[in-house]
Structure 1
């Protein structure tokens, strides 16, 4: 009995000392223990996600990949895997596991090493949120006290849920939701038992046990997890045997991108970082909804690529990317070597690498990175005549041996019918931007062929000379200075002596054809260079330049000389599209925007776009009326407002913001209507007076509601096409990133037959095909949206040759629009004679458009 009493005394003393020690330790570390109350309102670091307007994921940005999940969404086998491996008594203890601590102490005493940490799930959560992974006793003490605080504050399920979402699992994946996506490319609910066990085994050492970097070690760890689940009764022997025999299926998966649109997502990233800073932009889980529509964005990207392929193919094949062996003197490399080499290539856009294994008369057999052999037939090869220069191509090949030999490393892609086609990486560049002219919403934007190849966004960064795309703005200035669409201007060569330079300036048409007196409508539709110069002279260079500035262009980009009439101004595609939209929306200058809404991780709306719209006169009057009401009668304006909020602000947010008017709606309509003639032409083909506009290829869309304008600069360095209806405004640019590199010309390819494009590159041949392909999709199933004539116009029948009023009701006349009070008052008596200036008549053949601005 005395011994027992002695034992109890010693035990009490030990307990008392232990309590004193614990109290002392707590007092010692109390100042370093953070408040765990933040866990009640914890905000996990989640990446910024960027979506299309219709909710498809474009991209995500952030240092950590995380897909938060509720514990109710986690399959029970995965919960069991973590419990069996990390803390099987989790639901029984109060944050610390005495049994685990004793076991860890025994290992420490017996081995002298800290092999087991005895950390519960709660303690791991404490470390992950507030501490480091350093193996130090004082850290363990802090971990215990924080864990006890957490257990008092949160329920077990809340703790487990936070743990599962916070834990690091390798490859920048944090939390089990992200790990399932990163390693297996699917949600948690679709994982099998072996895959769940693999993820559950990662917390011990995310890098060392990573199934991508160390598959064997990962497999061993997975089987340990499965063994623990078997020991604890979570799975049967049969399930254990099946799971342990499964191979490693993990591989790296990027984010679940539904539409890869890197140029617009990079615009969003830069804007959000500038607005919120990197920490909040990358880690607060913001969801950004862009203005682009997935269907038309995809169409824009494909149209731009296909157009660059077409340009590149007609200029010839530059040869294989590399020659891996000489087919005449060297033995072929082994297939495993070739496959490994091909897998090391970085695919660009929709191009894939392959190696030519054998060459037949009119086909080649190739091997791709998957180890698949297939044949590229003659239809996929015959385009590939040899490239000499941008303006010279060799003869059309007659056999596959004229193009390739075994050992050649090539690029291939698939045509619209799914057949393989020999390809090459385009050297030319391009950009496409499409906006809603009513409010500036960017519907689609593409800044180049491949973001991986170049992050330079040509749609918003590249200022290039616009060529004849400037002419609608010059003609708009002319309408402001007394001209009309029926005004007759002399289409004849200009020979202007420049005293300061000591040379003559001779702007000329392309093609070098002149028709003498011509109406302004037809001159714009056929892009007559000399008429544009004459109109600029009639308006005056400075007044015309000031008029162009109304469309949002910058003064430094608008030259104050006569080359302005031929397109020497330098603009980005977006700037040009914005300015051209004024003709589509009735004369308003809209502000392009690409973010419609920003939400927080909790779904709170942080920002919602309020674009400036092209308002009708009725809308503007309504705005003014409500503004006056809010300022003059605040009491009545706030009537029925129980929260006593600022009714002025409330009313303002319900009304559209009106974009400023920069030209009259009559001026806007007349230019837009004249630009329809650039597509559909005029005259009577039956009577031999028919003519095409420069954009006639767009007639294949079979829509009468389209207006358009081509543009080609000096020596075909830059080519453009801009076109629109009331709902869509799209501009396409094609050129080289080096501004001095001309796009050149091509000769007829005997292998391709009818329908091919050849001759000098121009806006109609080089840029317009991409515009057509895109607009075919953008306007699919859309009703006609013509630019409607506003009030303030009158329509009268005029004579096509003189522009005067006509009594005729035949092919010699047409109805023309005029601003009221500007229509001709005289009737034609007889057709005026065709008069050419005598200057320049004896000059040699004139240059083509590619030598003009």
Structure 2
């Protein structure tokens, strides 16, 4: 034996590392308030100390794997002799005589190759391990290291995978099932091989009874218990897959794949659970509202009530795929007749999960209702008010007649989708267009919510951070900010009149148009921005200069090479992501500072030590220091552990405030409705929030391929985008659904930023505004307000509906008084259209 030891000694690895072993544990991603978003890693492991494991689990493992564990020194002579006797009598290696210590040696340092030399090395390593570690330390390593099937490593993870409960919550039968797995986790696990697992469990129980570790009554109850195991995935508390994927990519970039996945990092994001769920709900509800007003595209599949042979001839509905082979087999077996419930439920169980949508099959159709059966066997009746929206979809521009009966919509045997609504379920479909919502804190850039699409299962493309889409009129606040930095004011008059520019090189005239094509002559810039007048924006970029304006836009964080250097920039020909737009608008919300968006607040290692903590740039460093002291309960004399960085001032606070003033008018309008001079801004639907301190801008691109709304208060800025992933598709228009009227379908006509994107923004802000600072925006120094004449923008002494107070950078206020007898003439054709 001594000679054999020195023969293999140089090949034996050092076991010193077992003193500081780091078990591979998955990376976990959490919300800011500590709720699990996702888990990444090849191995599921929940490390536990021996004190955290129930005594019955320890007894079951020891009785089955190594009954003399606490009496031998790493090698069990009795077990070796028994294995040797089996070898002599049978001529085969049927027992390995491995102790728990030897299994630890194999798991950490060797392979499972069935060879004499591996077994010899395993024995010598076990002797070394027993010299270095206590028995309890060895057993704890073993119970946390062993593979137990279905990616579960250790008994803690196995309890979650097979039973969805913590280890101390398991019954004796369940503990015995797990204790029986080390011998063959692939062939003995209760999910894949329930009968083999049952027999193995009974062997474990008999060993425990033989060792007097359980009573006969306990043995009998556990021996006859049914197999209840089923696969349990990670218990996700908050559905935020787009955010989780952003974290995964960031962690791999920081630590590499192996370290990121297996080192047990706990990543805490800046996103609160309630905000994320509110954003996801807002996006999904808004897309369903759009999709339902455009009509119903029909059921997913028709399971009976037709000639199934036509599917062999490829005559299925062109809008839906042919059924899979299993479904076809059932169709043929039923010969076009109704399926039995077993077949229906098996069919529904094969369908993929898509967000909150649920699969169902129509079993009966009544005059104005249908009966359905859902996954799991729940039976529901969809009443008429859950069906009547479903007039036929023709194309994005046209819808069919409103249905009068349930049979106009559905037939028995239709595979449909339903979605949860108040007090029940509603007929639904996967929305045609896509959408994104992103919200961040304008004071430091912390991400508050992010949803990159309707369902991560449908598409992993994150439209909030990856989709660069034309921004349309949401570019205008940046154009106006450049004008305000060049001595324009909210009261400056610019002619809202048609423009025709002949290009002799191309022989084509450029004619930018308002949408709708209404022109109102000379107009103050406050009203022009609020009502999104295209030709005014073109005149402004001409006055400031295209190159100068393009350079100015880089102050908002936009990449110079992505900013078109021509007059189309003023109408939104540039393409940016929703996150980039939110960051740009944050400059207006925070008084002119550029913040850097971030979404990881801190990273902890497997022992809870903070290995990274975000240190963003703050608009108000004094505010950040105060909040930090309060959070860490530090007094004024205590040392601040980190410096608070200042976000750079990129535009003047005065220009930011003037833009915000105009964008508040985009929501609340102006003039006097009582005196027939009132007007609405393009974001008037946001008035439903009943908050005077919000500002925002709609955006719609040519042919309505993209719809935007970006809005903010002092404490949040949120961008919403809606459009088809396929750029060939426009969002279209809708007509009134006679079944719904204007109360249930208030949006009729062409889709646009104010009708398509803004409702989703409103749904999100209904939740968010209650949490953040939505007090009035602070007036910067160096500004003043004076009473002006609304028509001319000049000073006035009148105090009636023709006048208003307006804000100016000191020194730019008007000096002349308006002529009370003569109004500004309407001018519809001129060279520059500027009136100051």
TM-score under structure 1 normalisation? 0.91
Residue 477 of structure 2 aligns with which residue?
Answer: 472
Please say if 1:821 is aligned against 2:800: no
User: For 2:685 and 2:733, how far apart are their aligned partners in 1?
Assistant: 19
User: For 1:215 and 1:786, how far apart are their aligned partners in 2?
Assistant: 65
- Aligned runs of 1:662-681 on 2, under 5 Å? 662-681=650-669
Contact 2:503 2:509 in 1 (8 A): yes
Segments of structure 1 that go 5 or more residues without pairing to the other structure are 1-21, 623-639, 642-649, 841-853
- Aligned runs of 1:378-457 on 2, under 5 Å? 378-415=384-421, 417-457=422-462
Deviation at 1:159, TM superposition (A): 0.8
Deviations 1:560-591 (A, max 9, x none): 11111111111011111111110011111111
Contact 1:327 1:406 in 2 (8 A): no
RMSD: 1.9
Within the candidate set 225, 228, 236, 2:207 is matched to: 228
Contact 1:493 1:839 in 2 (8 A): no
User: For 1:594 and 1:621, how far apart are their aligned partners in 2?
Assistant: 20
Residue 832 of structure 1 aligns with which residue?
Answer: 823
- Aligned runs of 1:136-147 on 2, under 5 Å? 136-147=115-126
User: For 2:378 and 2:784, how far apart are their aligned partners in 1?
Assistant: 68
User: For 1:379 and 1:29, how far apart are their aligned partners in 2?
Assistant: 80
Within the candidate set 679, 687, 694, 1:699 is matched to: 687
SS in 2 for 1:507: coil
Q: Alpha carbons of 1:463 and 1:105: their partners in 2 closer, same or farther (altered >3 Å)? A: same
Deviations 1:464-497 (A, max 9, x none): 0000000000000111111000101111222222
Please say if 1:736 is aligned against 2:736: no
SS in 2 for 1:654: coil
Residue 275 of structure 2 aligns with which residue?
Answer: 296
SS in 2 for 1:711: strand
Contact 2:501 2:511 in 1 (8 A): yes
Using the TM superposition, name which of 701-710 and 237-246 deviates more: 237-246
Deviation at 1:101, TM superposition (A): 1.4
User: For 1:700 and 1:226, how far apart are their aligned partners in 2?
Assistant: 66
SS in 2 for 1:27: helix
Deviations 1:80-118 (A, max 9, x none): 111111111212221121111121112111112221111
Residue 709 of structure 1 aligns with which residue?
Answer: 697
User: For 2:50 and 2:768, how far apart are their aligned partners in 1?
Assistant: 43
Contact 1:327 1:405 in 2 (8 A): no
Please say if 1:95 is aligned against 2:74: yes
Residue 365 of structure 1 aligns with which residue?
Answer: 371
Using the TM superposition, name which of 765-774 and 489-498 deviates more: 489-498
SS in 2 for 1:660: coil
Contact 1:536 1:565 in 2 (8 A): yes
User: For 2:407 and 2:239, how far apart are their aligned partners in 1?
Assistant: 37
SS in 2 for 1:460: coil
Please say if 1:542 is aligned against 2:547: yes
Within the candidate set 699, 709, 717, 1:721 is matched to: 709
Residue 631 of structure 2 aligns with which residue?
Answer: none
- Aligned runs of 1:203-352 on 2, under 5 Å? 203-326=182-305, 330-352=336-358
User: For 2:774 and 2:243, how far apart are their aligned partners in 1?
Assistant: 28
SS in 2 for 1:754: helix
Consecutive aligned runs of 4 or more in structure 1 exceeding 3 Å deviation = 618-622
User: For 1:457 and 1:782, how far apart are their aligned partners in 2?
Assistant: 26
TM-score under structure 2 normalisation? 0.92
Residue 568 of structure 2 aligns with which residue?
Answer: 563
User: For 2:112 and 2:517, how far apart are their aligned partners in 1?
Assistant: 78
Q: Alpha carbons of 1:474 and 1:739: their partners in 2 closer, same or farther (altered >3 Å)? A: same
User: For 2:830 and 2:400, how far apart are their aligned partners in 1?
Assistant: 41
Deviations 1:402-441 (A, max 9, x none): 01111111111111x1311111111200111101011111
Deviation at 1:782, TM superposition (A): 4.2
Deviations 1:5-33 (A, max 9, x none): xxxxxxxxxxxxxxxxx101111111111
Residue 31 of structure 2 aligns with which residue?
Answer: 52
Using the TM superposition, name which of 702-711 and 550-559 deviates more: 550-559
Deviation at 1:71, TM superposition (A): 0.8
Contact 2:715 2:772 in 1 (8 A): no
Deviation at 1:267, TM superposition (A): 0.7
Deviation at 1:334, TM superposition (A): 2.5
Deviation at 1:829, TM superposition (A): 2.0
- Aligned runs of 1:122-141 on 2, under 5 Å? 122-141=101-120
Deviations 1:819-841 (A, max 9, x none): 1110001111225234132599x
Contact 1:430 1:449 in 2 (8 A): yes
Deviation at 1:294, TM superposition (A): 1.0
Residue 739 of structure 2 aligns with which residue?
Answer: 751
Please say if 1:43 is aligned against 2:25: no
Residue 779 of structure 1 aligns with which residue?
Answer: 769
Please say if 1:658 is aligned against 2:646: yes
Residue 28 of structure 1 aligns with which residue?
Answer: 7
Deviation at 1:735, TM superposition (A): 0.1
Deviations 1:106-135 (A, max 9, x none): 211111222111111111111111111122
Deviations 1:598-621 (A, max 9, x none): 1111222221111111147x8999
Residue 581 of structure 1 aligns with which residue?
Answer: 586
SS in 1 for 2:51: helix
Segments of structure 2 that go 5 or more residues without pairing to the other structure are 308-334, 627-636, 832-836
Deviations 1:689-730 (A, max 9, x none): 211111111111111110110000001100000000111000
User: For 2:198 and 2:289, how far apart are their aligned partners in 1?
Assistant: 49
Please say if 1:591 is aligned against 2:596: yes
Please say if 1:493 is aligned against 2:498: yes
SS in 2 for 1:776: helix
Which of the two has higher C-alpha Rg?
1
Using the TM superposition, name which of 94-103 and 761-770 deviates more: 94-103
Residue 793 of structure 1 aligns with which residue?
Answer: 783
User: For 1:786 and 1:80, how far apart are their aligned partners in 2?
Assistant: 67
Contact 1:695 1:709 in 2 (8 A): yes
Deviations 1:185-225 (A, max 9, x none): 11111111111111111101000011111111111111211
Residue 17 of structure 1 aligns with which residue?
Answer: none
- The number of aligned residues is 791
User: For 2:437 and 2:625, how far apart are their aligned partners in 1?
Assistant: 36
Using the TM superposition, name which of 798-807 and 134-143 deviates more: 134-143
User: For 1:496 and 1:753, how far apart are their aligned partners in 2?
Assistant: 44
Residue 506 of structure 1 aligns with which residue?
Answer: 511
Contact 1:744 1:760 in 2 (8 A): yes
Deviations 1:154-204 (A, max 9, x none): 111111111000000001110011111111111111111111111111101
User: For 1:470 and 1:99, how far apart are their aligned partners in 2?
Assistant: 82
Within the candidate set 798, 823, 833, 1:808 is matched to: 798
Residue 376 of structure 1 aligns with which residue?
Answer: 382
Residue 625 of structure 1 aligns with which residue?
Answer: none
Residue 529 of structure 1 aligns with which residue?
Answer: 534
User: For 2:775 and 2:204, how far apart are their aligned partners in 1?
Assistant: 64
Contact 1:355 1:367 in 2 (8 A): yes
User: For 1:75 and 1:438, how far apart are their aligned partners in 2?
Assistant: 49
User: For 1:216 and 1:620, how far apart are their aligned partners in 2?
Assistant: 61
Using the TM superposition, name which of 570-579 and 489-498 deviates more: 489-498
SS in 1 for 2:68: coil
